[in-house]
């Protein structure tokens, strides 16, 4: 007879819905700044979790799983203990003005996974096909307070939650990591052409890599190297609804 814990795990896995990763080599639109109808050539659309998916496309729901989002101050005031602090002050990603979440202990990781897990479930309920978890590499901006092992342990909770909800889940950031070992199904690579990182994502995910470039010269270089294999889009950095878009 199986031990109760192992039996429970087997039953849980047996009941996990099948997930469908995004198709490879399909044009993608990155719409985090606001949702608009996508161009006819687009097959994959990425939108913020508060926006509705677009009918007739493969839809990916953006979730900031490791840092706070603008406009969510009330939420994180209620969960003040889950915000990372250095000498009493919140640790902030200066590029975006976002506070880092404290994933150093198992207890805090589990509490955060409950909050973020509800967002993931809502993405599934809204009809999304997949979820993208941003800022996996927040440890690199944490003043040394967070470690890669903290991110790995935390993200395992989120990949399991996404799969339980029937969603594929995408790795964002940390190109040196083979995220498949943590349960990721695909990657979203911002400016991998600019920083010569695309090949590292391709080594893990093959053609299931969605590339977003913000500078025309990087876009041209990425298209030359990977445009026949990957979905690559050129966007304006603000991701404005009426902003710049081009495809290979």
Instruction: Determine, yes or no, domain membership for 223.
Output: yes
Instruction: Determine, yes or no, domain membership for 5.
Output: no
Calculate the alpha carbon distances from 19 to 164, 177, 183 in Å: 9, 22, 12
Instruction: Determine, yes or no, domain membership for 155.
Output: yes
Instruction: Determine, yes or no, domain membership for 80.
Output: no
Query: 141 lies in which domain range?
Result: 21-67+106-247
Instruction: Determine, yes or no, domain membership for 79.
Output: no
Q: Are 134 and 63 in contact (CB under 8 A)?
A: yes
Instruction: Determine, yes or no, domain membership for 159.
Output: yes
Instruction: Determine, yes or no, domain membership for 170.
Output: yes
The pLDDT value given to residue 4: 35
Number of domains in the chain: 1
Please give the torsion angle defined by the CA atoms of residues 113, 118, 124 and 126, in that order, rounded to the nearest 10 degrees.
-150
Residues 26-62: tens digit of each pLDDT: 999 999 999 999 999 999 999 999 999 999 999 999 9
Instruction: Determine, yes or no, domain membership for 59.
Output: yes
Give the whole-number percent of the chain exceeding pLDDT 70.
94
The pTM assigned to this predicted structure is 0.91
CB atoms within 10 A of CB 11: 10
CATH code for position 120: 3.20.20.70
pLDDT band at 24 (very low <50, low <70, confident <90, very high): very high
């Amino acid at each position: 007879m199986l031990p109760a814990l192992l039996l429970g795990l087997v039953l849980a896995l047996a009941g996990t819905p099948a997930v469908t990763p995004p198709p490879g080599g399909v044009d993608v639109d990155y719409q985090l700044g606001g949702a608009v109808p996508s161009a006819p050539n687009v097959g994959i659309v990425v939108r913020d979790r508060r926006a509705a998916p677009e009918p007739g496309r493969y839809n990916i729901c953006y979730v900031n799983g490791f840092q706070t989002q603008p406009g969510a101050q009330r939420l994180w005031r209620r969960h003040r203990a889950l915000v990372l602090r250095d000498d009493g002050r919140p640790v902030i990603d200066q590029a975006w003005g976002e506070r880092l979440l404290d994933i150093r202990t198992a207890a805090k990781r589990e509490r955060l996974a409950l909050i973020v897990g509800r967002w993931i479930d809502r993405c599934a309920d809204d009809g999304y096909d997949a979820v993208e978890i941003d800022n996996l590499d927040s440890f690199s901006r944490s003043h040394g307070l967070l470690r890669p092992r903290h991110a790995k342990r935390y993200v395992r909770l989120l990949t399991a939650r996404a799969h339980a909800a029937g969603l594929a889940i995408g790795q964002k950031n940390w190109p040196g990591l083979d995220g498949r070992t943590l349960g990721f199904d695909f990657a979203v690579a911002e400016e991998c052409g600019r920083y010569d990182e695309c090949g590292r994502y391709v080594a893990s995910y093959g053609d299931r890599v969605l590339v977003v470039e913000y500078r025309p010269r990087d876009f041209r270089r990425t298209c030359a190297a990977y445009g026949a294999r990957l979905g690559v889009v050129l966007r304006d950095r603000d991701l404005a609804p009426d902003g710049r878009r081009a495809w290979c």
